[in-house]
Chain A
Amino acid sequence: MEERVVITGLGVVSPNGVGVEKFTKAIKNGQSGIKFHPELNKLSFRCQIGGVPAISENARQRFLKKHGIEEVFSTGITYGCIAASEAWRDSGLKIRSEKESPDYESGCIFGTGSNGIEATHYGIALRESGQDTRKGNPKALPQAINSAVSAFIAKIIGLGGQVTSNASACNTGTEAILMAFDKIKNKQAVRLLVGSSESNSPYVWGPFDSMFATAHGFNDQPKKASRPMDKDASGFVPSSGAGALVIESLSAAKKRGAKIYAEVLGGHINSGGQRGKGTMTIGNVNGMVRCIKNGLKSCQITPDQIDLISGHLSSTIGDITEINAWVRALKRKGEAFPYINSMKSMIGHCLSASGSIESVAAVLQLYNGFIHPSINADQLHPEIASLISHKRVPPTAILDVPLNIVCKISFGFGDVNSCLLLKKYID
């Protein structure tokens, strides 16, 4: 018999709230985490705003010391480790001491696109400085490799199953959850700590700025800059952070009497092949439609069962393609369209971290029965308005709403897609 898969722990490091409690409050209130960053102005960026989680230097050092990883200076690795350890504790699981054996039943899939940036920069700066390269920090390099975040998390917690980092650009976080789902369903793992994180660095944001992908014209009103689905959406707001979830088999969760946030029904991962209108940077709508349809089919969910869509919706031209894909896949439009919201309206685009932070938000909405607002969608883009009713895009939170099925979607460079289906857990 195949296993049912549930979510038993959550952790988050988001620009509008660090920790699940603060984050929940922030997303209910529609609180933006986007700020102006003078450093980007000095560096002549077009877009000088972004999202950075508020973690004091003191708190950072305390965390690293407590977990014996003082050498970590990558922001993405730090965010990832903080979110992961929160999720693990939240699930009621124990962190194994250094003297205990690794837990072979528990693994980790924790992705990133560019957590290595600080360590890579360190190495390059050392080379450029003309100083003796032999006198560098010998603990810098491991942080440059892509799997460092999962390796540090495994060390902190004592994870002995598969420990790896996936990467599929902005699709990474949602993909990690679906990969974990497959492994648990097929009994290759009992439990996986999954998530993703992204460093906060102008070197991560620079390439997007240069390709005109980021928001323009909002440097003086940062909170208005990320406006998914709005007619004035002008590009995404670069951001950073981490989200983490503990995913395990229902039988294991029940056995240890764990709190269950939601059930993972499954979903679909695919690519549009950079064919049709798809390219390296723009998704092929046929791939998206297929991803949604196959996702639903694999969980035997019909389109009318979907209560809420947690969109990818990055505040770019891609929003229109996404809404088109949903309407085509679900055959629901106007007022019959499900509720839809965009976490990015409040926190910008956390790139590889986005899928996991947004999934944490999706789970919180299911569990607590609310729908967070999609802020700044003041006037829908006309093409979007022709497809869905503005009433389905909540400007303020909808409280006390019974949600049963939430569908989370993520897309990424390379024309990659993931569609995840979450269900309210009923014993």
Chain B
Amino acid sequence: MAKKTRVVITGLGICSPIGNGEKQFTTSLKKGVSGVRYHEILKRQNYRCHVGALPALEQAEIQAFTGRYGLVKMKGTGIVYGCMAGVEAWFDAGLSLLDSKSNQAAWESGCIFGTCTNGIDAIDYGIGLVDTGNVRKMGGRTAQQAMNSGVSAYLGGIIGIGNQLSTNSSSCITGVESAMEGVNRIRQNKAKIVLVGSSESSHHNVWGGYDGMTLYDDFYALAKGYNDQPEKASCPMSVHANGLVPGGGGGAMVLESLESARKRGAKIYAEILDGSIISGAQRNGGTMTMNSRKSMEDVIEFALCKSQISAQDIDLISGHLPSYIMDVYEVEAWAKVLKRSGEDFPYINALKSMTGHCFAASSSMELVASALQLHHQFIHPSVNSAQLHPQIASIIARKKIPLKSLKKKINIVAKTAYGFGDVASCIVLKKWEGA
């Protein structure tokens, strides 16, 4: 078998509820701050859950960004988050934007940037006009923001992408999937560099939809009883975890063949070994809104096998861990596949404890966090997990779920993401040691 092309991460960008930009985000990660806030509009709309997490961006900051890159009449918050993260990652990798006067594109550079619902801001605007007979007032900038691929289309224009330019969607595994599609594209020798990532709008309509939704039986999806203590609401692995906290944001990574990165003398954050993406097909207990236990386990096993690592190699698990019963199922899946428990269990943390669940954006934000932890050799805390769910406490030693940031030597991080439609993913990252 031919040797796989090695793929490395050379740029990171983030627009998250706990910080915009790699620097601020890293500081927040280490401190374990929460980005979850009370939102009056959610109360006014009579939703159950009034807490949510969105990037702290001043209107002036957004205008400065959209002005600089010619994003006219930009309504899509998710598109803005994605473009901010994408552009940051691109510059962080030491790459430059293609001259706007060029008549060629950057043919070797691609972009696969996912989302679930970025179009919602433009769609809401459009529906209002169509319903009142004012369709003609919509203007020429709505279609491209309403369409699902809006975020990649805007990023392509800013950067001058000349390779594949596309948007992937697979609910909450979208971020991991975009990274795997980028890895594939590079391994197939079809692109040298691929900007990957995902973003999600923070429109209250996105959150409102989840508010009225049940995940199983009559269990409503969002966190309950935390409207007066938003920072405690997202508490993955805790006995108090009772629903996810909706969020918005964007995460981005520049992926590149090792050869290309070396040739450019690029900084390397980490290497992506491999990963797996499967579906449980809503069988064996899986449904549209809950994963089958079997698919949760199998995807981990497949990812380890493809990455050619053993269970013992894993130092840290960056969990999906959305802050409800799924947390327990996930920990059980890991323990079963790895055959590790107690103090032998790898460290495990949930970024969602700080950022809430940013849906399609979540797993790319978590991959950015994973790359940063590998690069700076630390493990971020999983906040609000002081009182572990008893089933989790029976599997994992308390100290493996850090409540405070730890300085640790870590070599391998495995990241899982699960999503609606019973889709499952797992990807393995390795510390870059100049080898």
Contacts and interface: CB of A to CB of B under 8 A. Distances in A.
Q: On chain B, which size bracket covers the interface? A: 35 or more
Interface stretch (B24-32, B142-150, B263-271, B325-333): B142-150
Interface in B117-149: 117, 119-120, 122-124, 126-127, 129-130, 133-140, 142-144, 146-149
Given A211-B139, A275-B100, A413-B144, A43 B281 contact: no
A290 interface: yes
A159 interface: yes
Given A273-B159, A274-B157, 15 more contacts: A103-B281, A141-B209, A142-B213, A164-B168, A188-B184, A203-B127, A206-B126, A269-B163, A270-B163, A271-B164, A273-B102, A278-B105, A286-B104, A352-B147, A413-B153
B422 A151 contact: yes
Nearest to A104: B278
B146 A207 contact: yes
A200 interface: no
B279 A114 contact: no
A182 B112 CA distance: 15
B288 interface: yes
Given A138-B212, A273-B160, A416-B156, A164 B280 contact: no
B177 A164 contact: yes
A138 B250 CA distance: 27
A166 B113 CA distance: 10
Interface in A104-139: 104, 107-108, 112-114, 116-117, 119-121, 123-124, 126-127, 132-139
A152 B420 CA distance: 10
A276 interface: yes
B420 A142 contact: yes
Contact of A150 (B127, B162, B289, B421): B421
A155 B288 contact: yes
B279 A162 contact: yes
Nearest to B104: A286
A-B pairs, top 6 by smallest CB distance, nearest first, are A273-B105, A151-B421, A414-B153, A276-B103, A102-B281, A210-B138
Nearest to B120: A120
Contacts of B116: 145-147
Contacts of A80: none
Interface string B360-373: 00000000000000
Interface of B: 45-48, 98, 100, 102-107, 115-117, 119-120, 122-124, 126-127, 129-130, 133-140, 142-144, 146-149, 152-154, 156-157, 159-171, 174, 177, 181, 184, 187-188, 190, 205, 208-214, 220, 277-284, 288-289, 294-295, 298, 419-423
Contact of B123 (A117, A152, A160, A211): A117
B281 A158 contact: yes
A167 B149 contact: yes
A284 interface: yes
Contacts of B422: 151, 154-155
A163 B170 contact: yes
Interface of A: 42-46, 96, 98-104, 107-108, 112-114, 116-117, 119-121, 123-124, 126-127, 132-142, 144-148, 150-152, 154-155, 157-169, 172, 175, 179, 182-183, 186, 188, 202-204, 206-213, 269-281, 284, 286-287, 290, 352, 412-416
B98 A207 contact: no
Contacts of A46: 136
Given A163-B170, A274-B156, A123 B165 contact: no
A161 B281 CA distance: 9
Contacts of A206: 126, 129-130, 135, 138, 142
B102 A207 contact: no
B165 A113 contact: no
Q: Which of B149, B164, B298 has the most CB of A within 10 A?
A: B149
Given A141-B212, A269-B164, A155 B282 contact: yes
Given A113-B147, A114-B148, A182-B184, A134 B47 contact: yes
28 contacts: A43-B133, A44-B135, A98-B283, A113-B148, A120-B120, A124-B127, A127-B205, A138-B220, A141-B210, A142-B213, A144-B117, A145-B169, A147-B171, A154-B422, A160-B278, A163-B170, A166-B167, A167-B147, A169-B153, A186-B188, A203-B123, A210-B142, A211-B139, A272-B105, A277-B103, A280-B144, A280-B154, A416-B165
A412 B165 CA distance: 10
B164 A270 contact: yes
B152 A168 contact: yes
Q: Which of B106, B161, B167, B209 has the most CB of A within 10 A?
A: B209
Contacts of A114: 119, 123, 146-148
Contacts, number: 330
A288 B44 CA distance: 50
A211 B135 contact: no
A144 B105 contact: no
A154 B167 CA distance: 20
B59 to A, nearest CB: 23
Contacts of B104: 273, 275-276, 286
B149 A284 contact: no
A206 B131 CA distance: 10
Contacts of B117: 116, 120, 144-146
B284 to A, nearest CB: 7
A140 B423 CA distance: 19
B171 A163 contact: no
B214 A138 contact: yes
Given A102-B283, A150-B421, A275 B160 contact: yes
A289 to B, nearest CB: 11
A145 B159 CA distance: 27
A413 B119 CA distance: 14
A19 B44 CA distance: 47
Given A43-B133, A209-B135, A273 B156 contact: yes
A45 B133 CA distance: 8
A174 to B, nearest CB: 11
Contacts of A44: 133-136
A152 B171 CA distance: 13
Contacts of B107: 270, 290
Contacts of B115: 146
A207 B122 contact: yes
A121 B288 contact: no
B209 A140 contact: yes
Contacts of B126: 203, 206-207
